[in-house]
């Protein structure tokens, strides 16, 4: 048994030792058929026309010294690809964004991302409080100390990257967060980049049966005041952060308790400001197997329409290793290939089940919430795989911290280098794959949001076409 553990631990890569793996066996017995059983993984290279492939290669080389400005009109005029999309029903100039974390906790970071051309930014998660300043989730307000980025190998042998840090949520005052939020909104408006707050509200744990509703009302209304001062009467998007560190908390040890959270939270936020906030639930990878992840998605989708239903989803943040230690803290979140493998497999299973259920009911439309994807999006190829499962925007984090040697672009910020790689890479870039999809599925004039909706509504066709294409490869 120990020999087998040694072999499997080695497959997990340089950041997971045998002790860590023992913890992972307990918390993440992932479906070993997930990768092999996934019917729509993109294999081989995208297949644009010869002339278009040559043009993408030329642009990839030409833009090593800087992206075209403005970016989106160039892509539309050159390739016929409309990069506009939606997040929480609000327009995005492009679907590429930065997820909440330590790279979105200062005004200068948001300003730099806006100048680089990012489509949206999710701010660092603030810990909710009531009017007296009390925070039930205070243990998540831990300042960052040191971040560490390092290679990681997935269980199937794929190479990737993961970032480890000790910090959790915003650790400064709530007033300081409001000031930061206002500055970030101004930067976003100046660069046509959507800026979104992220909040961790009270979640009852253990034997608690009550909700601290004042945390929800006070925090939501204060953020809404800041939003309206900058953006007027447009509804404010807000992410309710179910942090990956919840996975290692006693609060998330019971499946019934997690489902209770998912049912109650949207209504608590909506009722704080009726009709003025669009609530997104950022779903975490629990310590349970994939079947429970499917139950989580069913619970959210089956909520009654109205205040009690989320407006959109963010799926799904990092995995959790309870036995891994970092800077004296036991239990850390991690990413890499196993994260995208699990997320894509779960979303695929969910779409298949919902499509079958709709066909049984002879329903014309499958009811799906909009999805903003997150989890190991290190290339346009992976973003395209999430799009096939209905994601209309893509939140990233680790890619903005990769060593400079991982990028082909020679100048500019990490955000610019990441956009160059994500969009224009001839084999791994989003442009090449969207052109492939347009040919494969016969898409006419669609933007990214419409492509995602088409994939959700025509999931069986996606499976058939991509399975056939993979067999040909």
| Secondary structure of 127-139 in HEC code, one letter for each residue | ECCCCCCCCCCHH
| Per-residue pLDDT band at 47 (split at 50, 70, 90) | very high
Residue 110 has pLDDT above 60, yes or no: yes
Cβ-based burial of 306 (10 A; exposed 0-12, middle 13-18, buried ≥19): exposed
For the chain, the C-alpha Rg in angstroms (whole number) is 21
Give backbone dihedrals phi and psi of 447, rounded to 5 degrees, phi first. Answer: -90, 180
Using CA atoms, how far apart are residues 96 and 383, in angstroms rounded to an integer?
9
Tell me which of 417 and 16 has the higher pLDDT.
417
Q: What is the mean pLDDT of residues 117-134?
A: 96
Q: What's residue 48's pLDDT? A: 92
Residue 447 has pLDDT above 50, yes or no: yes
Residue 472 has pLDDT above 60, yes or no: no
| Per-residue pLDDT band at 4 (split at 50, 70, 90) | very low
pLDDT tens, residue by residue, 330-382: 778 889 999 999 999 999 999 998 877 655 554 545 578 999 999 999 999 99
Q: What's residue 361's pLDDT? A: 52
Using CA atoms, how far apart are residues 115 and 192, in angstroms rounded to an integer?
10
Q: What's residue 433's pLDDT? A: 98
CB contact set of 251 (below 8 Å; sequence gap of 6+):
203, 204, 205, 206, 257
pLDDT tens, residue by residue, 66-107: 999 999 999 999 999 999 999 999 999 999 999 999 999 999
Tell me which of 240 and 12 has the higher pLDDT.
240
Which residues on adjacent β-strands are paired with residue 200?
127
Q: Are 141 and 171 in contact (CB under 8 A)?
A: yes
Q: What's residue 247's pLDDT? A: 74
Q: What's residue 360's pLDDT? A: 55
The pTM for the full model equals: 0.89
Mean pLDDT, the chain, integer: 87
């Amino acid at each position: 048994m120990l020999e087998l553990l040694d072999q499997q631990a080695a497959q997990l890569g340089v950041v997971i030792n045998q002790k860590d793996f023992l913890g992972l066996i307990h918390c993440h017995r992932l479906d070993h058929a997930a990768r092999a059983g996934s019917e729509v993984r993109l294999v081989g290279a995208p297949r644009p026309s010869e002339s278009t492939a040559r043009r993408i290669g030329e642009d990839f080389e030409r833009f090593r010294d800087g992206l075209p400005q403005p970016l989106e009109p160039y892509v539309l005029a050159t390739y016929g690809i409309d990069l506009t999309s939606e997040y929480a029903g609000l327009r995005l100039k492009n679907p590429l964004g930065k997820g909440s974390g330590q790279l979105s906790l200062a005004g200068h970071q948001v300003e730099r991302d806006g100048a680089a051309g990012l489509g949206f930014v999710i701010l660092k998660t603030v810990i909710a409080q009531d009017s007296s300043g009390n925070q039930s989730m205070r243990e998540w307000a831990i300042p960052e100390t040191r971040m560490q980025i390092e290679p990681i190998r997935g269980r199937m042998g794929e190479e990737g990257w993961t970032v480890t840090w000790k910090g959790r949520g915003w650790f400064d005052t709530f007033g300081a967060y409001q000031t930061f939020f206002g500055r970030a909104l101004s930067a976003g408006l100046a660069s046509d980049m959507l800026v979104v707050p992220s909040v961790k509200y009270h979640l009852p744990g253990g034997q608690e049966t009550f909700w601290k509703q004042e945390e929800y009302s006070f925090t939501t209304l204060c953020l809404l005041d800041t939003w309206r001062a900058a953006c007027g009467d447009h509804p404010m998007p807000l992410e309710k952060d179910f942090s990956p560190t919840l996975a290692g908390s006693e609060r998330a040890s019971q499946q019934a308790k997690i489902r209770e959270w998912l049912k109650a939270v949207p209504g608590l936020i909506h009722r704080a400001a009726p009709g003025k906030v669009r609530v997104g639930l950022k779903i975490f990878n629990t310590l349970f197997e994939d079947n429970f992840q499917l139950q989580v998605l069913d619970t959210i989708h089956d909520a009654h329409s109205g205040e009690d239903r989320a407006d959109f989803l963010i799926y799904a943040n990092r995995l959790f290793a309870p036995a891994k230690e970092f800077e004296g803290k036991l239990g850390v979140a991690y990413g890499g290939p196993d994260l995208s493998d699990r997320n894509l497999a779960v979303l695929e299973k969910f779409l298949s089940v919902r499509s079958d259920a709709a066909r049984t009911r002879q329903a014309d439309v499958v009811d799906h919430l909009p999805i903003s994807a997150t989890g190991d999006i290190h290339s346009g190829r992976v973003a395209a795989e999430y799009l096939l499962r209905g994601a209309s925007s893509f939140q990233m984090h680790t890619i903005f911290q990769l060593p400079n040697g991982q990028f082909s672009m020679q100048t500019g910020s990490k955000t610019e280098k990441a956009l160059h790689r994500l969009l224009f890479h001839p084999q791994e870039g989003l442009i090449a794959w969207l052109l492939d999809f347009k040919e494969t599925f016969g898409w006419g004039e669609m933007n990214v949001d419409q492509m995602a909706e088409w994939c959700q509504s025509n999931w069986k066709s996606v499976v058939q076409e991509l399975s056939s294409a993979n067999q040909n490869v």
